């Protein structure tokens, strides 16, 4: 079987690698390093206040993205996949019109087509927590796959699970189920897709 992959970017990668998870996690790693340096004061190690070179930081982040997406490009070649940089539209049930990045047009006939829609909003999940203890008191879930998550939410409540328990659990990506994990991460101000700084708690 001959396989052709069409993407607007220089290499395949999709939303997660180019604009979502990977860039976010790269910057979150930097934030974690800064926080670790700040906390080191309690261990007897004090660092000077950091200076952030935004352009250099951005270049490093883009380098991480390019390394990963470039690896996918090489993998396509090794697997014998033809990669075309451009945007495709269906002309009929067996023909694509491809507008390549250089501005040219070409047609491709096919027997089977898979449309990768990328990241999309399938629903939303919200945790009801007890702030002092971070214990999960309830779960609000909306979306076409909400019924599949009810059992996990009920188990979390019955087992007196904490936000950290869900935040450390592993869910498949990209699925609605990972919104449980990210809802817990919001409590700590660390969610990959939602930036919400942790609120200060007053004793």
Residue where one domain finishes, among candidates 48, 82, 109: 109
Residue 194 lies in a domain: no
> 63 by DSSP, 3-state: which?
helix
Residue 202 lies in a domain: no
Q: What is the CATH number of the domain that holds 133?
A: 3.30.390.30
**What was the pLDDT predicted at 196?**
55
**What was the pLDDT predicted at 143?**
74
Query: How many domains are there within the chain?
Result: 2
**What was the pLDDT predicted at 54?**
93
Residues in the chain: 203
**What was the pLDDT predicted at 72?**
87
Residue 192 lies in a domain: no
Question: Left, alpha or beta for 160 (phi > 0: left; psi -120 to 50: alpha)?
Answer: left
**Domain region containing 153:** 123-187
Same domain, 69 and 150: no
**What was the pLDDT predicted at 17?**
83
Burial (0-12, 13-18, 19+ Cβ within 10 Å), 126: middle
**What was the pLDDT predicted at 57?**
94
Across the beta sheet with 105-109, what order do the strands follow?
4-7, 82-92, 95-100, 105-109
Q: What is the CATH number of the domain that holds 89?
A: 3.50.50.60
**What was the pLDDT predicted at 121?**
56
**What was the pLDDT predicted at 200?**
57
State the Cα–Cα distance between residues 203 and 64, nearest whole angstrom.
Answer: 41
Q: Tell me the per-residue pLDDT of 69-91, one tens digit each, with 9 for 90 and over.
A: 888 889 889 999 999 999 999 99
Instruction: For the chain, list the strands marked E by DSSP.
Output: 4-7, 82-92, 95-100, 105-109, 123-130, 135-143
Residue 82 lies in a domain: yes
Same domain, 104 and 134: no
Same domain, 132 and 103: no
Same domain, 92 and 127: no
Residues of the chain with pLDDT below 50 are none
Residue 45 lies in a domain: yes
Same domain, 80 and 16: yes
């Amino acid at each position: 079987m001959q396989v052709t992959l069409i993407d607007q970017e220089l290499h395949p990668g999709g939303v997660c690698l180019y604009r979502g998870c990977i860039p976010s996690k790269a910057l979150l790693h930097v934030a974690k390093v800064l926080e670790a340096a700040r906390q080191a004061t309690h261990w007897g190690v004090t660092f000077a206040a950091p200076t952030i070179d935004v352009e250099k930081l951005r270049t490093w982040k883009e380098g991480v993205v390019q390394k990963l997406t470039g690896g996918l490009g090489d993998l396509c070649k090794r697997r014998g996949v033809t990669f075309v940089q451009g945007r495709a539209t269906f002309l009929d049930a067996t023909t694509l019109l491809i507008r390549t990045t250089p501005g040219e047009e070409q047609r491709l006939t096919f027997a089977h087509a898979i449309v990768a829609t990328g990241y999309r909003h399938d629903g939303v999940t919200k945790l009801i927590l007890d702030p002092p203890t971070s214990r999960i008191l309830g779960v609000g879930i909306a979306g076409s796959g909400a019924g599949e998550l009810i059992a996990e939410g009920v188990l979390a409540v019955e087992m007196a699970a904490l936000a950290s328990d869900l935040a450390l659990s592993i869910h498949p990506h990209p699925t609605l189920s990972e919104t449980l994990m990210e809802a817990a991460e919001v409590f700590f101000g660390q969610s990959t897709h939602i930036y919400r700084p942790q609120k200060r708690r007053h004793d």
